[in-house]
Amino acid sequence: MERRPTGRFPRGVGEGTLERTMIRTRCLLMLTPLPFALACGPAIVPLQDETSSSSEGSDGLTASTSTSTSTSTTTASTNDTTGDTTDDTTGSVFLIAPDGGTCVVSDDGYWHCTRCDLWQQDCPAGEKCTAWASDGGSEWNATRCSPIARDPGGPGDPCTMMGSPTSGLDDCDLGSMCWGVDPTTLEGTCVSHCQGPEADPICDPATSCVIANDGALVLCLPLCDPLAPDACPAGEACLTTDRDDDPVCISAGIEVQPCGEVACSMGEACLDDALIEACMGFGCCTPWCDLNAADPDAACAAVPAHACLPYHEAGTAPMGLEHLGVCRLPA
């Protein structure tokens, strides 16, 4: 399956701000020793001329408070592909980082720097590469360097987000992020990033590597049985994110790849068009079935040419999913 890189981000510098920005940010090659010259992370000092103070919470993450004496800066951002420009009047100032990514200082007082590598974890010491929503929305669409808490939690430990469920600021350790976050309490559970090479990712048993949202998410999520009525916790669904992937518990905010022109629903798998009768697209949805049922093919009766056949190749089914089948054309 093709793995796509993280999405593109706005680029540009507010007029009259570049010289001061180059002096005061850590996102500069000349001020950052190798090997950290290719990444940048949150800084405490905001860009505007102001009086600021920082405070450190009990989680070890540092926040900044300030009283601004300058007006908001209007910047223009350029799309990497089209060259179109759009006005941004939010008060944020963008800077092109040495690694080709974008750093932005916004209302929360942090530098947000995109395009760090989740697989390489190439952020400066004391920081980690993690997913966040660069547009302030509810879906992870980028990566950023964020500070590691003083006493971070590991996979399976409870965690808390700062600001919002998709801020990228949590108290989980390097190589993990806070997941399943309650939007009210901002509490969730630390989940591990996939390890090893991207072409052959590694996760602990009972989990599977999910690469989603254009590569902004690379998480080891719990496997589930789509035939079980309570396969996942409330608010999550047992789905595959793409063809041939293992079924895992999916939370809101994960982009599920469409199967042909639609996304498959609960109880359906996405298979290549060659395996599905009269499938006119690049893939079609088909029901799951139970290989251990008294009559496995009964679940496939809607399409007489289909039979209940194993979803996984022989010997590759995760433990507990050996019975999982799909309705498809015989080989």
Residues whose CB is less than 8 angstroms from the CB of residue 305 and which lie 6 or more positions away in sequence, other chains included:
277, 329
SS3 21: helix
Alpha-carbon distance of 218 to 199, in angstroms, equals: 12
Alpha-carbon distance of 2 to 213, in angstroms, equals: 13
> What secondary structure does DSSP assign to 269-294, as a single string?
EEE-GGGSTT--SS-EEEEEEETTSS
Task: Quote the pTM value.
Answer: 0.66
Place of tokens 């992937």: 245
Alpha-carbon distance of 154 to 127, in angstroms, equals: 15
Place of tokens 């590569």: 215
Contact between residue 166 and residue 138 where contact means Cβ atoms under 8 Å apart: yes
| Tens digit of pLDDT at every position of the chain (331 positions) | 333 333 333 333 333 333 333 333 333 333 333 333 333 333 322 223 333 333 444 344 443 333 333 333 333 333 333 333 333 334 444 444 444 445 555 555 555 555 699 999 999 999 999 999 988 899 999 999 999 999 999 999 999 999 999 999 999 999 999 999 999 999 999 999 999 899 999 999 899 999 999 999 999 999 999 999 899 988 889 999 888 899 999 887 888 888 988 889 889 999 999 999 999 888 999 999 999 999 999 999 999 999 999 999 999 999 999 999 999 999 8
Give the per-residue SS3 of 225-248.
CCCCCCCCCCCCEEECCCCCCCCE
Our CA dihedral for 289, 294, 297, 300, rounded to 10 degrees, sits at -50
